[in-house]
Structures are given as structure tokens and as C-alpha cells.
């Protein structure tokens, strides 16, 4: 399990470029700044008709209701407040509806919505499963009811990988999110599975749009430009994504530390530390902004390759958008991090590095050294109770997390390890001597150095580190 509690910034309001004004043909004219009443009929265009059942939330832009169709299907309806119900917003939602979702993890606009005979508009999307919590609860280490929230390293790594893959798909479609932050990401605590909401802020990656982002997540070039002419794009999304990942993995903001502690957190403070003169808290060449002990503890826990990637993102990447870490690089890093995860015999999670100096368990001091390594192509998986082979081990850049093999220590002999076939098809295990045995679904076999598992997805070689 992870350790420590998180000191988080209070939720900051989203920043927009300029202010809208109501014209005589504005879609907001006559719109009421109140939630829709239960039973109100709603026209969903090509999706047919529905009616409002109840209100489930509200924010700066509008209200979120549950609506139900005649078939019994329920959807979430976001209904805009007057100041947000502009013709420009209407056109942007229509564009997103026509474009279609880039990935199922986005709670994407399905259709524009209107109330017959009434001004104003909204849009409908799939309902969020209540198992998913806003990401800020992970950072607070507690649930909305105040009870403790325990999230495993495996779930955290999966969360980061899914974020990277989801935004890779978004950017590949020529879109940018423009407002990556705590409040727009939800996660399932047991698995780390992700849902991304507030997709009405997504825009075509062409330098247009009203949304600038959320303070502390905005790229330095956006914060520093007081003329508001520098607009979000794919490069600024990459900065925001790196900030979010740093928060999740290291429990703090990458630009906050000793140097940012003094003074009022006012506009000049924000402009300097997050715009014109930011300094990475773990900059390898400048220790003037070192962070809390919790952040530094996590920094020492993770492998060097991950630390180097963040040093790139918040070193050269702060001032040169072309040097920012891409989504593909994050995906590879999260895969490598998951493969390196290792459970010590004392039960503590650690990370093994084959090319690094010896690492030792932070709890008992034992060497972090697996008995076996499972090699799949170029990937090396440290065998332990937390290790698993997934379908995406066999497909470069894939996004199928279904587990096909797990590893287990023998209950009566801690030095013996076995691999269990969790796939639906039979495998063949071939020993160095050339003999082979069948490994059917659900079966477990002892590991041996030099053993090769031949699966439907590819071969797995068992070696010693």
C-alpha cells in the first residue's frame, strides 16, 4: 500500500479567456439560472425524448440532472447556466457530438438537449458509476464520507497509464482537452480505472477556444501571457497531464516547495512561480525549491527512469513545449513501472531496477531482488505476488489490461514460485532440457530458469536477475 497523506491545493476555479456578453440573438436570452424541475420533458434530438428525474450536482457552468428515456435508460444531463449558455458553447457541443468520443473513458456529449418551449440548452452523456470518485479524494487519502481511502501502487500506476492512453487518443484525433485537473478526472479505487468528465471544454487543436485552464495546472506560457493570447493546445495539455501525474505519484505539486512557501498566494505569486519563473521542486541542479518530506520520500522510492522523465517534463519542458513528455512516453514509463513493482517478503512494495545499483526495502532493509524475471519481448517483469502478465504485454502500445497470468509463492516453500494460466486457452511450458508440459486454463506450474511459456499472444521466458 501507499503511505502518507497529501497536502493539496484548494480547488481553483477554471479560467476563461475574456467574458461573454449577451447580444440580442444570444442563446442565453431569457434563460433561468435555476435547476430543471423533476418531470420536465427534454428533447434529446436523435436520441428521442426523456424527462428529468432529479438533480445530482451543480457547478459554475450549470446543473447536472438525471434524465430517463421511455426505454428506462438513464443519462446525465448538463444544463447550462445563463452566463454559459452561449451560441459559441452551443456550436462547440454540436461539433463534439458530431466528432464522437475518442475513447470510452470519456463521458462524452452524446446529444444536445433542449426543453420544448423554453430557452437554454444542455447536453446528455452517460451516467458516471458511483464507484468512481473524483481524483481529489485520492490525494486526500479519504472517501467523501470521511472514511480512509487506501489505494494500491498497482491501481495508482494503472490510473496514470489510462490517463496517458486516453489523452493520446484525444490528441490523435486533433483535439485538445484544455483543462486537465483534479476536478475532471474520476477513478475507481480498487483498480485505478479512469473516467474523464467535463468534456464540453474539449476543442479542436487549432488555437481557438475560451477555456484557459485551472490555476496550478496551466502551462507556464499560458500563465505568463497576461494578454490571454496564448491558448491551450496539445503541448499545454501535456504539461497539465504531467502535473496531474506528479500529484498522483508523489503527493505534491511539482513546482511547489521551499521557494513558494513565502508570501501571499496572490496573482503576482502565481505569475512568478507558475508562469515566468517556475522551478521544479526536485530539479537536479537547483535545490532552492525542495518540497515536503512526503514528496521526497516518494521521489526516492520510485526508480531512476521515472525520476528522469519528470525531470525532463519540469526541466526543459517548462520553457520549451517541444521538450514535454508525450503520452506515448508516459505509457511506456507506466508499463515499465508496473513491471518493476515488487513485494518484499516483509510485505512492503518496492521497485526493482535491473540496470541500477542495488536497492533495498524501505521497511526491512532486504535487497529488492526477485527470484525470477519473466521476459516478454523487450519487457522484463519482476516476479512477485503483485506481478501479472496482461494482454497488453504482448501488444506494443496496447490498452487491454486483462490479466492472463499471475505468480504465486508456494505455501510450504517460500523459495518456490509458480505461474498460473489465467487465460482462456491452453499454454505449453518448455524446459531447457527440451521437455514440454501442457498448462491448461487455471493450472499452475513451478517456475524454472530457462523455461519458456508459449501462449496464444507470444512467448514468455523465465530467467534469473
Virtual torsion, Cα 85, 91, 92, 95, nearest 10 deg: 150
What sign does the dihedral 65-159-175-207 (CA atoms) show? Answer: positive
Q: What is the mean pLDDT of residues 25-44?
A: 74
Q: Is 339:388 a contact under the CB 8 Å cutoff?
A: no
Summarize pLDDT for 381-432 with one digit per residue, the tens. 999 999 999 999 998 777 888 899 999 999 999 889 999 999 989 999 999 9
Q: What pLDDT does 109 receive?
A: 98
More confident residue, 60 or 348: 348
Highest mean pLDDT among 156-170, 259-273, 353-367: 156-170
SS3 (DSSP) at 320 = coil
Catalogue the E-assigned strands of 211-298.
211-213
Per-residue burial over 71-95, b if 16 or more Cβ lie within 10 Å, else e, is eeeebbbbbbbbbbbbeebbebbbe
| pLDDT in the model for residue 7 | 43
Return d(Cα 423, Cα 457) in angstroms, integer.
Answer: 10
Element (H, E) at 350: strand 349-351
Residue 43 bridge partners (DSSP): 49, 114
Spell out the domains of the chain, with CATH numbers in brackets.
15-125 (3.30.200.20), 133-330 (1.10.510.10), 370-463 (2.60.200.20)
Q: How far is CA 40 from the centre of its chain?
A: 36
Query: Residue 367 burial (CB < 10 Å; 0-12/13-18/19+)?
Result: exposed
13, pLDDT greater than 90 = no
The pTM for the full model equals 0.91
Q: Which residue spans within 126-255 are E strands per DSSP?
A: 133-134, 175-176, 185-187, 194-196, 203-204, 211-213
Which range among 349-358, 388-397, 452-461 has the greatest average pLDDT? 452-461
CB 422, CB 413: distance < 8 Å = no
Question: How far is 409 from 417, CA to CA, in rounded Å?
Answer: 5
Distance in angstroms (rounded) separating the CA atoms of residues 50 and 67: 6
DSSP states of 427-441: EEEE-TTS-EEEE-T
Q: How far apart are CA 343 and CA 336, in angstroms?
A: 16
Residue 151's alpha-carbon distances to 5, 155, 191, 218, in angstroms, are 12, 6, 9, 27
Amino acid at each position: 500500500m501507499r503511505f502518507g497523506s497529501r497536502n493539496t491545493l484548494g480547488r481553483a476555479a477554471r479560467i476563461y479567456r475574456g467574458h461573454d456578453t449577451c447580444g440580442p440573438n444570444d442563446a442565453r436570452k431569457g434563460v433561468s439560472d435555476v435547476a430543471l424541475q423533476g418531470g420536465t420533458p427534454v428533447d434529446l434530438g436523435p436520441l428521442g425524448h426523456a424527462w428529468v428525474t432529479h438533480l445530482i450536482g451543480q457547478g459554475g457552468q450549470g446543473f447536472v440532472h438525471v434524465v430517463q428515456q421511455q426505454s428506462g435508460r438513464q443519462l446525465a444531463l448538463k444544463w447550462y447556466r445563463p452566463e454559459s449558455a452561449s451560441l459559441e458553447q452551443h456550436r462547440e457541443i454540436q461539433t463534439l457530438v458530431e466528432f464522437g468520443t475518442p475513447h470510452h473513458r470519456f463521458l462524452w456529449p452524446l446529444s444536445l438537449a433542449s426543453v420544448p418551449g423554453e430557452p437554454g440548452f444542455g447536453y446528455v452523456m452517460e451516467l458516471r458509476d458511483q464507484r468512481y470518485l473524483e481524483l481529489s479524494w485520492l490525494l486526500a487519502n479519504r472517501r467523501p464520507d470521511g472514511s480512509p481511502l487506501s489505494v494500491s501502487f498497482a491501481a495508482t500506476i494503472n490510473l496514470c497509464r489510462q490517463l496517458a492512453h486516453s489523452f493520446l487518443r484525444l490528441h490523435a484525433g486533433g483535439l485538445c482537452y484544455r483543462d486537465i485537473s483534479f476536478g475532471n478526472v474520476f477513478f475507481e479505487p480498487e483498480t485505478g480505472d479512469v473516467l474523464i468528465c467535463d468534456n464540453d471544454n474539449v476543442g479542436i487543436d487549432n488555437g481557438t477556444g475560451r477555456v484557459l485552464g485551472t490555476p496550478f495546472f496551466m502551462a507556464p506560457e499560458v500563465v505568463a501571457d497576461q494578454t490571454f493570447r496564448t491558448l491551450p493546445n496539445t503541448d499545454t495539455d501535456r504539461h497539465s497531464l504531467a502535473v496531474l501525474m506528479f500529484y498522483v505519484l508523489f503527493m505534491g505539486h511539482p513546482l511547489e516547495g521551499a521557494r513558494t512557501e513565502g508570501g501571499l498566494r496572490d496573482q503576482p505569486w502565481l505569475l512568478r512561480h507558475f508562469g515566468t519563473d517556475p522551478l521544479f521542486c526536485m530539479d537536479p541542479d537547483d535545490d532552492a525549491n525542495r518540497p515536503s518530506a512526503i514528496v521526497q520520500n516518494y521521489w526516492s522510492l520510485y526508480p531512476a527512469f521515472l525520476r528522469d522523465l519528470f525531470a525532463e517534463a519540469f526541466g526543459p519542458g517548462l520553457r520549451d513545449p517541444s521538450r514535454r513528455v508525450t503520452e506515448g512516453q508516459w505509457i511506456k514509463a507506466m508499463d515499465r513501472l508496473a513491471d518493476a513493482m515488487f513485494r518484499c517478503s516483509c510485505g512492503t512494495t518496492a521497485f526493482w531496477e535491473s540496470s541500477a545499483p542495488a536497492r533495498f526495502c524501505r521497511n526491512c532493509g532486504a535487497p529488492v531482488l526477485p527470484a525470477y524475471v519473466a521476459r516478454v519481448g523487450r519487457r522484463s517483469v519482476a516476479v512477485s505476488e503483485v506481478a501479472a502478465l496482461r494482454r497488453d504485454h504482448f501488444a506494443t502500445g496496447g490498452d487491454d489490461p486483462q490479466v492472463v497470468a499471475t505468480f504465486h509463492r508456494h505455501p510450504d516453500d517460500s523459495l518456490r514460485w509458480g505461474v498460473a494460466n489465467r487465460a482462456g486457452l491452453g499454454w505449453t511450458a518448455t524446459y531447457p532440457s527440451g521437455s514440454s508440459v501442457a498448462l491448461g486454463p487455471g493450472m499452475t506450474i513451478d517456475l524454472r530458469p530457462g523455461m519458456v511459456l508459449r501462449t496464444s499472444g507470444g512467448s514468455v521466458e523465465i530467467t534469473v536477475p
